Amino acid sequence: MADIYILTHEFRPFLGGAGIVCERIALTLSRMGQSVEVWAPTYSSEIARHASLEYSVRSISSLKGTRNLSCLIAIARTIIKHRAELKNATLYLGEPGPIAAFFYLGLFSGRWARRQVATLHGSEIERYHKSPLSRWFFKRFIRQMDALHVLSTFNENKLLRLFPDCQGRLIRGFGMHVKGEQLPEFHKETSESDKVRLLCVGRIHPRKGQLPLLEAVKELPSQLQENLEVYFVGQWIKDAYHQQVEALADKLQAKVTFTGGVSDEELENHYQQADIFALTSMPYRNSVEGLGLVYLEAARYALPILAHDIGGVTDVVKNGENGFVCNSNNRDTLTQSLKKLILDADLRCTLGQNARQRVAACSWESTVKSIFQIHDTHLD
């Protein structure tokens, strides 16, 4: 039996932001001497059997990771089945899927574990406030949780504005690494080419802002465009937005490459080869960037960051310190900031080193201690 059970719809090998948070928290807890078991989707079965992890992974049958009704039922059945194990343990709901399942479980009992905690990533907060029924469910959920964790100041303020009952239960914080990990040692390979490589990591989607980024590139002088290589790394589907992005890319003098999804090793190589990191997220259907863990990842590789001033982004990116934060409604500001980064290698280096130093102090330990009420650790 474990001390802490982590329930998630999202885990290896298909990691988004929520899955990364669950993984980081699981590893941090394990290195604090806690016994941890992650309840993960069926597709994680190979990880559960073969990966050398510092915590246990249990693959849940019928949990496909789609957050549809069958997945909610699979989560509910798992919690009910293992109620005896949970009685003296902590249950951590890592993302919106388990939270939705708990809405319905809460109708039968509000207490399924000794301690119950959850992380809210951002976009779901607006959904919970959308209708009287969803508000009722979430207010009930709040009362059943011992702690609610948010990643950013933006999400903390939004949650308190929409659901004041959260006061006293909220814990804000995020991290990049856990104790025992070092920042990656890397040396950017020199190239005979004097081209500047811009990297954007994220699925091709309106909320990730690939289109406004390319529109800013379009406004650059021809000579700068010819000196720029743009790499979009992330999954995509052939929808209207992707077609718009591809159509604009074809019109640019800059070289634009769409890699699709890549392995961890390939992603690391892209970070190492890049000169600038850009993710110019945009509001989309009441959804905004809750934090943006990829900004932290880029900072590990000493990359200057170009971003929009929305959501929780400014908790990570500080304008003029480790990158540039631009108004999402002012395309000219984005273009001028990009121009500065392309032209000034020394500026790129200064901002990148600032980013790396900032992330070096960004650890999960203090946040995890608060969420799980851990006082004595084995992290000497």
Mean pLDDT along residues 182-186 = 70
| Confidence class for position 380, pLDDT limits 50, 70, 90 | very low
Can you tell me the mean pLDDT for 332-344? 97
| Cβ proximity of 239 and 284 under 8 Å | no
Separation of alpha carbons 37 and 321, rounded Å: 39
Query: Do 334 and 280 contact (CB within 8 A), yes or no?
Result: yes
CA 249, CA 254: separation in Å to the nearest integer? 8
Instruction: Scan for tokens 């070092």, then name that residue.
Output: 182
Domain formed by 196-360, architecture: 3-Layer(aba) Sandwich (3.40)
CA gap 218, 216 in Å, rounded: 5
pLDDT at 69 over 70: yes
Asked whether the domain spanning 196-360 has the same topology as the one spanning 4-179+363-372, the reply is yes
Spatial contact of 297 and 201, defined as CB atoms under 8 Å apart: yes
Q: Return the pLDDT at 2.
A: 92
pLDDT, position 183: 74
Q: Any idea which fold 4-179+363-372 has?
A: Rossmann fold (3.40.50)
Question: What's the whole-number mean pLDDT along residues 345-372?
Answer: 93
Among 170-174, 204-208, 295-299, 374-378, name the one with the lowest average pLDDT.
Answer: 374-378
Q: What is the sign of the dihedral through the CA atoms of 300, 305, 309 and 311?
A: negative
pLDDT at 378: 47
Mean pLDDT, residues 81-110: 91
Residue pLDDT, tens place only, 98-134: 999 999 888 887 789 999 999 999 889 999 999 999 9
Q: In the structure, what pLDDT confidence band is assigned to residue 48 with cuts at 50, 70 and 90?
A: low
Inter-residue contact 178 to 213 (CB < 8 Å): no
pLDDT tens, residue by residue, 290-329: 888 899 999 999 999 999 999 999 999 999 999 999 999 9
**Least trusted range by pLDDT, from 14-23, 109-118, 144-153:** 14-23
Q: Rg (Cα) of the chain, in Å, rounded?
A: 21
Please state the domain extents for the chain. 4-179+363-372, 196-360
pLDDT score of 47:
72
Cut 0.75: pTM above it: yes
How many Å from the N-terminal Cα to the C-terminal Cα in the chain? Answer: 25
Q: How confident is the model at residue 377 (pLDDT cuts 50, 70, 90)?
A: very low
H/E stretch holding 338 reads helix 331-343
- What is the average pLDDT across 22-43? 92
Query: pLDDT-derived band of residue 331, with 50, 70 and 90 as boundaries?
Result: very high
Residue 189's pLDDT is what?
A: 55
